[in-house]
Amino acid sequence: MRAMTQPDSPTRRTLLRSGLGAAALLVPALPAAAAPAEFDAWRDGFRGRALAKGISQATWTRVMARLEPDMTVFKEMRNQPEFKEQLWQYINRRVSDWRVINGKAALAKNEALFARIEKDFGVERGTLLALWGVESAFGDPLVQQNHMRPVFPALAALAWNEPRRKAYWETELTNALKIVDRGWSTPEEMRGSWAGAMGHTQWMPEVWLNVGFDYDGDGKISPFGRPDDALGSTARYLVNRGKYHRGEHWGYEVRAPGNMSGSRTYAAWQAAGVTRADGQPFPQPNATAQLWIPVEGGPAFLLGPNFYSVKSYNPAMSYALAICHLGDRILGAPPFLQPFPGSERALTLAEVQEMQKRLTAAGFDTGGTDGRVGNDTMKAIRDFQAKAGLTPADGYGGLKVLAKLRQGG
């Protein structure tokens, strides 16, 4: 959940350009280089501005007095990997066997929490499970440990010397200081992406301050630890910002004859010959939906208001479709019944792990062999494709890559 007043911030722009979930942008923390003298001069000036906005001297001294900027953030901004994905590849990577399996486990562990959220806000558990899985791998502590960095050195570096949005980053640094000032977190706990997004559903500091709320009643607001605050706040965000409709599903895969478009009720769509792909009736015939066929010859969808509620979280149609489909899959639904043209089925968890092990053995480091496909695995795949003469070298690990690895590369 990125800052609502900064929809085109570098964090959001990078996410949309790469087509990757926030968790995929996380990079290992690297030692900060020695601070240039110019940083000390900037820090002296920022101190007055921070204190004027209510930051206490104690918090300033605790966080900023000896802080060194994380200079690696500038490299990360320039060198975010680019992967050109077709929509079916995008869906397959996010609606992965790993996420479906672990989403079911996350639901079983937090059944009471999701039941409470559905009662309080009306947001379907599948939607929140999918957001949680894509944004932070269901809060996996290994992601926090291995792929997060301290946010204060990163935000300080950006506020000091990121030429395009220095005011934005300084505001976010001030917001992060306010969080410490309020006793909601500590500088040591506040680890996140290079751009400062943190926790289960990837909050920027502004979102933490202005959107998050204390859903578990422990007296503080936190995107870390127990997922209650993060998931409850995300549900409220979808209702308030995304105008989520209680009791409605996001939409359905359908069979649509001829050239049709527009918005009408499900009953009117059915009267025009549009039916659910699985043959089931539309449960709310008087609710409205829009027809969308993202790729000619591929699956067609009727999209209700709750699809666009998810889209308020990240404005890419591909992201919203992946979230909605992943939520359905975690709750037991099958893959899309109509395949995308030229698509492959998604690899199973065991097949992804085999691919990672074979890549690693061949000298292409995937950063682990747990069945999750992130930037390290995608880079390893792309490098292997280039070496093996597989085109396009697009970083997508599917059946063709696995078959080539099985042949010995």
Query: pLDDT tens-digit profile of 106-144?
Result: 999 999 999 999 999 999 999 999 999 999 999 987 777
* pLDDT tens-digit map of 181-229: 999 999 999 999 999 999 999 999 999 999 999 999 999 999 999 999 9
Check residue 30 and report its DSSP letter: -
* Pure H helices in 84-202: 87-94, 97-109, 111-121, 125-136, 141-147, 151-161, 166-181
Is 82's pLDDT higher than 70? Answer: no
Mean pLDDT of the chain: 89
pLDDT above 90 covers a percentage of the chain that reads 82
Tokens of 114: 């999701």
Tokens of 205: 């500091």
* Lowest mean pLDDT, pick from 30-44, 181-195, 388-402: 30-44
In the three-class reduction of DSSP (H, G, I as helix; E, B as strand; rest coil), residue 201 is classed as: coil
How far is 362 from 377, CA to CA, in rounded Å?
13
How far is 360 from 378, CA to CA, in rounded Å?
12
Helix (H) / strand (E) containing 323: helix 317-330
Is 379:395 a contact under the CB 8 Å cutoff? yes
Count of CB atoms within 10 A of residue 324's CB?
Answer: 26
pLDDT given at position 16: 27
pLDDT given at position 108: 98
Domains located in the chain, CATH noted: 251-330 (1.10.530.10), 349-406 (no CATH)
pLDDT given at position 85: 86
Sorted by sequence, the CB contacts under 8 Å of residue 363 that are 6+ apart come out as none
The distance of Cα 372 from the centroid of its chain, to the nearest Å, equals 14
What is the 3-class SS of 126-152, one letter each residue?
A: HHHHHHHHHHHCCCCHHHHHHHCEEHH
Count of CB atoms within 10 A of residue 57's CB?
Answer: 11
How far is 205 from 179, CA to CA, in rounded Å?
8
Is 181:205 a contact under the CB 8 Å cutoff? no
